[in-house]
A and B are shown apart, each in its own frame.
Chain A
Amino acid sequence: MGRNVLQIDDVHKSYPTAEGAVAVLTGVSLALAAGESVALTGESGSGKSTLLHLAGGLDRPDRGEVTVAGVALSGLEDAGLARVRRDRIGIVFQQFNLIPSLTVAANLSFQARLAGRQDQGWERHLAGALGLSALLGRYPDELSGGQQQRVAIGRALAGRPGLILADEPTGNLDETTGEAVLALMLGLVAEAGAALLIVTHSDRLAGRLERRLHLRGGRFA
């Protein structure tokens, strides 16, 4: 139990719409051990992002429990959730990951510094590995999409969180760039020893991960 970085037990989630509540997740359970990597697949609208948000403490389930690094999220207030996000989780979204008013360097170290865990050697290593060393003084709107996503990956890893969540991190990139960025990411996550839950459409990528979970009809198929 305590060894799982992420544990999801019988989680339900529905959204209110004009036509009444629409159930998106209807009893999903999942356990992710330290260092493990899982690909989350499913059709568009099947609830992948919803599940990732719940796992990341960004939203709350209607029912069920999410436990991150042994901490049950349902018992936490906003501030407690924010602390879990800050200290335990690195997230990479499809877009708008970066803080536009800060330079690449400041973006890279932002979360690590917030969590009080800045490690400049590791940061330099990440920047080098991600090919960002020459871009550190730039601002996000001066970067290409692929560069922006590489910064986001570095930022998520800089504080060495136990859990990395990624929601189609290459969805906005062309295929070649996307493949390259994903490969980089997998390597660095493994190097950091973090657990990874990644939403992806790519069968090729899913095949490279240890496990693959497919969402359909609100549950894992």
Chain B
Amino acid sequence: MTALAALLSHWRRHPLQLAMLLLGLALATALWSGVQAINAEARAAYARAASVLGQDRLDRLVGPLTVTRYAELRREGWPVSPVLEGRLDGLRVLGIEPLTLPQGAGVAALPDLAEAGGLLEGRAARVAPDTPAEALAGLELVRSDDLPPGTVLADIGLAERLLARPGEITALILDPARPLPGPIPDDLTLQRAAPEDGLARLTDSFHLNLTAFGFLAFAVGIFIVHSAVGLAFEQRRPVFRTLRSLGVSARGLAGLVLGELLLLALVAGVAGVAMGYAVAAALLPDVAATLGGLYGAPVPGSLGLRAEWWATGIAMAVAGTLVAAAGGLWQVWRLPILASAQPRAWGRANARARRMQALAGLALWAGAGLALVLGQGLWAGFAVLAGLLLGAALVLPLVLGGLLALVGARARGVLTGWFWADTRQQLPGLSLALMALLLAVAANVGVGTMVASFRTTFTGWLDQRLASELYVTAPDTETAAAMRVWLQPKVQAILPIVEADQMLGGQPGSVYGVADHATYRENWPLLAAVPAVWDQVRDGTGLLVNEQMARRQGLALGDPVDLAGGPLPVVGVYSDYGNPSPQVMLGLAAFRARYPQAPELRFALRVPPGEVAALASALGDRFALEDGALVDQAGVKAFSLQVFERTFAVTGALNLLTLGVAALAMLASLLTLAGLRLPQLAPVWAMGLTRGRLAALDLARTLVLAALTAVLALPLGLALAWVLLAVVNVEAFGWRLPMQVFPGDWLRLGLAALAAAAVAGALPALRLARTHPAAMLRVFANER
């Protein structure tokens, strides 16, 4: 106990060091757990959305439906359950029949029957906790976490009353677990469950990248912890020795130190998770808007508290501390009792260690290169990332030292010569903080480049893919035919889009038929194609495949693809972001010949841009189209741009936080170095430099190091972006995003890094400028 007190008293005498250690660890944990919280919240929201009788998660029958027709079908043995959907004051009302609802079809939100009394009797409705429910006055409301916000789940009878649509049924859900008694009746149409929404894959990409970012931020924070713990160990060597010589065993001492570390990690971990909660809560509205937009699934803008991430956040803090302190702990364990208590020589004495470090860094780079060439799968991608970043951090001090030596050799003036020599001497003490800065800036460049490339590519691709002004889907073939007649005089072109399911290279995929039209010839996003590709498509002598199919199945131009009616060669590859499945495009004539039974329900319409809105509303009214049956290209584009702006806001905020952590790391190192600095500066002061001048030079030194590091971080960040775009994305999603560079952003980022360094350097410089002459003079006296 007294031994522990002796250890802990160190922190009382060095409160700043303690603050740095706790703050660094807390911030690292905060960034990590904040990102995790955002991800978890968003994922939970998708799961909720998918669990509520998923709009298109189950096969359903649609057509002219009535209660009588439903009863008839049930009698014939059809495993159907009625659903009534509608909107009431901005709420989505979902009427179900609990008794006939398919079991275990991912309908997690359904109350079990015992609990469903109120539902059954038509008195109660279930809603998400934060749903405004004025419209439901008089009802018994059961708040349910499993529902997405804005959704009201009620018995179908109650839903009829709420929506004032007595006897109506929107659709009949088919129980996937039971066989159908016969062919689909003629009056009804089978709507197949949509495969997982393509855009959901984009949100996966977003989450993956956020996670990578959170981890990087955590790693940066761990650098702070490492330097703070290392210094505390260094300064306490005499205490450790005293304890050892007083009879504390090596194991006992290591245990004590470990206990102390765990205590600190726990405190910082709890604080960090709380801060992470704040970060997530601040960012979640933007993330919610981003993902809600992309996915169409409502993510609540508020945050729930989940026990798992409290636990994992604190576990991360503890694990991070142990990793950061492992070296120090080892030294405590092996500490010789009687070694001379000489302070370790800084500066040139470390040159050897720095070279070894750089060698280790090069080895890591080699490993990353190997993983890039030989590795496969997402983990190889992450291994490349880790090797690249860690290797760069380890090589940094040697490179900086070399650069400073180079510049210093050119310095003419006596002060500039000293400035560079002294900057070099500061390098070992600052290298951890500079590594943190390197990683922070590189992460900024990398993630920024990735998101910006993503945006440019994606919106450009949307421009190509959505070249037509309006897209319409008819509910059935009769309506489709009527629609064509009605539309013919009103538009410039009607381009049918037909689709059929088809196994492609062993995977379920789809085949599209497209008309021969300038819309495709001029706009379609082809990545590779033979000459006269569109003529071949028109003539049915070749087909187009999407990028992910070409990559996954290793298809090149000219390779055959098996289809109904015999194989056709690949004549082109197009980009198809957001779609996980293989896809093939055929000319319309060839498609009709090979898939004669596919209904023609969808059309792309070319309309003069000014007439889109009027036509859309006329079309909607004339054919009573549901939401989603009409897609307006301009709206989609504007919307996706908005989504990306929000993504930028989120990554921008995370970027700023990471830079903040790096600045803190610099501040921590500078403050701890300040004590070692005086003997280096005092002679210069005595020989005729003012303290103010010395402080200004010290600040300049910090800025020079930060600037050099930021410059070195640029290529690293671009490499990081490249790995994310060309390796991780390809492995995870099957498509490769072309990288685009945005030098304007770099400039802004460089200035931000300098500002961070200036903030970090300001306090130590100010303290130096205010150092009392007596403190300088004490350096020269021997009474100490």
Contact = CB atoms under 8 A, between A and B. Distances in A.
Interface of A: 15, 49, 53, 56, 58-59, 78-79, 81-87, 91, 93-102, 106, 109-111, 113-115, 139, 141, 167-168, 171-172
B684 A99 contact: yes
A35 to B, nearest CB: 23
11 contacts: A53-B777, A58-B686, A78-B692, A85-B686, A95-B782, A96-B780, A97-B780, A99-B683, A106-B418, A109-B414, A114-B689
A82 B781 contact: no
A139 to B, nearest CB: 7
Nearest to A77: B690
A93 B776 CA distance: 12
B687 interface: yes
Contact of A139 (B348, B682, B692): B348
Considering the complex of A and B, which 5 residue pairs feature the smallest CB-CB distances, nearest first? Answer: A86-B688, A93-B780, A113-B414, A101-B425, A101-B421
Nearest to B422: A101
Nearest to A94: B782
Given A99-B684, A100-B680, A114 B691 contact: no
B417 interface: yes
Contact of A87 (B417, B688, B773, B782): B688
Given A58-B686, A96-B682, A101 B347 contact: yes
B424 interface: yes
Nearest to B413: A113
Contacts of A100: 347, 425, 679-680
Interface residues of B, number: 34
| Residues of B contacting A: mostly | helix
A113 B684 CA distance: 12
B774 A171 contact: no
Given A49-B781, A172-B782, 17 more contacts: A56-B686, A58-B686, A78-B691, A82-B690, A83-B688, A85-B687, A93-B780, A93-B781, A95-B780, A95-B782, A96-B779, A97-B683, A99-B680, A99-B684, A106-B417, A114-B687, A167-B780
A25 B298 CA distance: 79
Given A53-B777, A102-B418, A110-B414, A115 B688 contact: yes
Contacts of B417: 102, 106
Contacts of B349: 141
A114 B773 CA distance: 21
Given A99-B683, A102-B418, A111 B688 contact: yes
B114 interface: no
A99 B418 contact: yes
A136 to B, nearest CB: 15
B1 interface: no
Contacts of B679: 96, 100
Interface of B: 345, 347-349, 414-415, 417-418, 421-422, 424-425, 679-680, 682-693, 773-774, 776-777, 779-782
Contacts of B687: 85-86, 91, 110-111, 114
B347 A94 contact: no
Contacts of B683: 96-99
Nearest to A116: B414
Given A86-B687, A96-B679, A99-B684, A59 B780 contact: no
A85 B774 CA distance: 16
Contact of A114 (B347, B680, B688, B690): B688
Contacts of B424: 101
Contacts of A111: 687-688
A37 B425 CA distance: 38
A168 to B, nearest CB: 8
Contact of A102 (B421, B682, B686, B781): B421
Contacts of A95: 780, 782
Nearest to B779: A96
Nearest to A90: B687
Nearest to A56: B686
Nearest to B688: A86
A130 B52 CA distance: 91
Contact of B690 (A15, A49, A78, A99): A78
A176 to B, nearest CB: 19
A7 B690 CA distance: 23
A193 B684 CA distance: 25
A157 to B, nearest CB: 13
Contacts of B418: 99, 101-102, 106, 110
Most buried by A among B417, B690, B776, B779: B690
Given A102-B421, A114-B414, A59 B686 contact: no
B714 to A, nearest CB: 29
Nearest to A49: B781
A85 B688 contact: yes
Contacts of A98: 683
A59 B680 CA distance: 19
A49 B688 CA distance: 19
Contacts of A86: 687-689
A93 B691 CA distance: 19
A93 B684 CA distance: 13
Contacts of A168: 782
Nearest to A85: B688
A92 B347 CA distance: 24
Contacts of B421: 101-102, 106
Nearest to A172: B782
Contacts of A109: 414
Contacts of A102: 417-418, 421
A81 B685 CA distance: 11
B720 to A, nearest CB: 34
A141 B688 contact: no
Nearest to B776: A58
A97 B685 CA distance: 11
Contacts of A91: 686-687
